[in-house]
Amino acid sequence: MKTTADLELAAMTKRDFPIFDAHPGLVYLDSAATTQRPRQVIEAAERFYREFNANPHRGAYTLSEKATDLYEKARASVAQFVGAASADNVVFLRSATEAINLVALGWGERHIAPGDEILVSELEHHSNLIPWQQLALRKGAKLLFLPMTENGELGIEALHTRLSKRTRLVALAHISNVMGTMTPLNEMIQAAHAAGAAVMIDGSQSVPHIPVDLSGMDADFFAFSGHKMMALMGIGVLAAKAERLEEMEPIFFGGEMISDVDYFQSTWNDSPWKFEAGTQNIGGALSLAAAISYIEEIGIETISEHDRELTRYALDGLSGIKGVRIHGPAENRAPVISFQLGALHAHDLATYLDSKEIAIRSGHHCAKLVMKRLNVPATARVSFYLYNSRAEIERLITALESARNYFGQWL
C-alpha cells in the first residue's frame, strides 16, 4: 500500500522534470551519480542568460550590477541552506571534487609537514581520497585509514585508536555513495578536534537528502556538488570556517581574485573571492539557488522521509529475490543500495535493466577501496530521490526477477 507521502511527493514533483516527458517510460535510479533537473532550475539559468547576462563584479553598469546581485544572493542562499556562519564562508567552484582539491592544495600544502598524519576512511569516494593521497606523497606525510565494518559502517572506537598527536586532518564522507552509510559525524568531529586535527567532510550525498547544519556540525571544511541536488552540472561548494579560509592560499590566479597587482608580486582579495579567479559559472550558481528554493518549498524533512520509505521498501523487495546480496547497513542508511545478483557482473545486469527502461549504476562507483574490501570487481547500485515512487521500485523488482530467469545458467 502506498503511503500518502509517496503518492503526493512522487506525483507532485515528477511533472516538473522535462526528462520524464522526453522519456515517459524511464525509471531513473541513479540519483547518487546525478539528479534530474526540474523546469524551475533550468529556467533560472536560462533567464539569466536571456535577461541579465553580464560579468559580475566587473562593470559599473546596470546589467553587471544585476549579475553581481544575483550571484551574491545565490551565495547567501547556499549559506543559509547549509547553516554556514556567513555567505563569506561559501566558495563557488566547479564541483565537490574541486572543492576538496582546493583544501588539499590551498590549506594542506601549508599545514601538512613530513611525518604528519592524514586519516581518511575506507568508504571514501576517490575525490576525498586521492587529493590526500597525493598530498601525503608530496609532503612525506603518513596516510592512515579508518576501516569500515563488515556491514559498511564506521566506528568511533576505531577512530580513537587511529588518532594521534600527529593527526593533522581527518577526511570523511557524510554519507557513503556505495554503502549508504550515514557517518556519526558529530562524535567523530569532536574526537578529531580533541586530537588537534582539522576535519574535511564530503557532503555530496547528504545535502540533497537530509538537513545539514554546519553551525552545529562544526566541520572545518564541507564540500558538496550542485548536480546531485538538481542544480546544473559544473557548480560546487566549499563551505569552511572563516579562520580556515584565512589560513588558505588561492590555487587559481587571475582576474577578480586580487586586491592589488605590482610588477613582481600581488596581494589577494578577501575570502571567498580570492578563491574564485576568472569568470565563474554564474548560471550554475543561480541554478543551485533555484534548486535550494525547490527543495525548501517541498521541505527537506519531507524529502528525507520519502527517501527513507523508498529505501525500506526497496530493501524488503531486494531481500526477497533469490541470489541477491545487499551491501551496507540494514538500518539508518541513505537512499543508496549496492547489491549483486549471484555471480552476474554488474555491467551485464545494468545493460539488461536498461532494456527495460530502468537506469541503474554499475561499476566501482569511484570507490575502489570499498570494492577491494568487498572483494568484488563491481556492484549494481540503485539510488532514489523525490521523483521516485514505490511503483518504480516494483518495476525494478519485477525486472530483477526476470533477469534472474534470463541469466539463470550463469548465476
Q: Is 366 a catalytic residue?
A: yes
CA 327, 396, 342, 349 dihedral sign is negative
Q: What span, in angstroms and rounded, lies between the C-alpha atoms of 81 and 7?
A: 26
Q: Which phi and psi angles does 309 have, rounded to 5°?
A: -65, -45
C-alpha cell at 84: 554556514
Q: Helix (H, G, I), strand (E, B), or coil: what is residue 315?
A: helix
The sign of the CA dihedral 390, 393, 398, 399 is: positive
Rounded CA-CA distance 239/220 in Å is 8
Nearest to 198 by CA among 125, 81, 298, 100: 100
Q: How many CA atoms lie within 13 A of 151 on its CB side?
A: 8
CA–CA distance, 10 with 204 (Å, rounded to integer): 22
Q: CA geometry: angle at 271 spanning 268 and 277, to 5°?
A: 60
Question: 85, 87, 143, 366: which is the annotated catalytic residue?
Answer: 366
Q: Which residues pair with 381 in a beta bridge?
A: 338, 361
* Angle of the 282-298 helix axis to the 62-82 helix axis, nearest 10: 40
Dihedral angle, C-alpha 84, 85, 87, 91, nearest 10 °: -60
Q: Write out the catalytic residue numbers.
A: 366
